[in-house]
Amino acid sequence: MNWGSAGDFLAMGGHGLYVWGSYAVSAAAVLVEVLGLRARLRRAAAQPGGQP
């Protein structure tokens, strides 16, 4: 596909909201997972016999 401008690229032929929304939801899910993993690691390390 060939885009004539940055606006055309962002619009993605009329599907921009779906495309960029999908990227945003995916990035948010990855961020939530990473933050959850870090919190679980901290809790595990705080318990007796936990990891350093």
Task: Between 45 and 27, name the one with better pLDDT.
Answer: 27
**H-helix segments, the chain:** 6-11, 16-46
pLDDT at 51: 63
Q: Is residue 52 part of a domain?
A: no
> pLDDT category, 47, cuts 50, 70, 90?
confident
Q: Please give the share of the chain, as a percent, with pLDDT higher than 70.
A: 92
> What is the average pLDDT score of the chain?
90
pLDDT at 39: 96
Domain housing 33: 23-47
**CB contact at 8 A, 51 and 44:** yes
**Which two structure tokens, joined as six digits, stand for 24?**
């945003």
Q: Is residue 12 part of a domain?
A: no
CA distance 25 to 18: 10
Q: Is residue 2 part of a domain?
A: no
Average pLDDT over residues 4-9: 90
* Tally of domains in the chain: 1
Range list of β-strands (E), 1-52: none
**Which two structure tokens, joined as six digits, stand for 22?**
């999908």
Average pLDDT over residues 18-47: 95
Residue (of 2, 27, 25, 24) closest to 12 by Cα position: 2
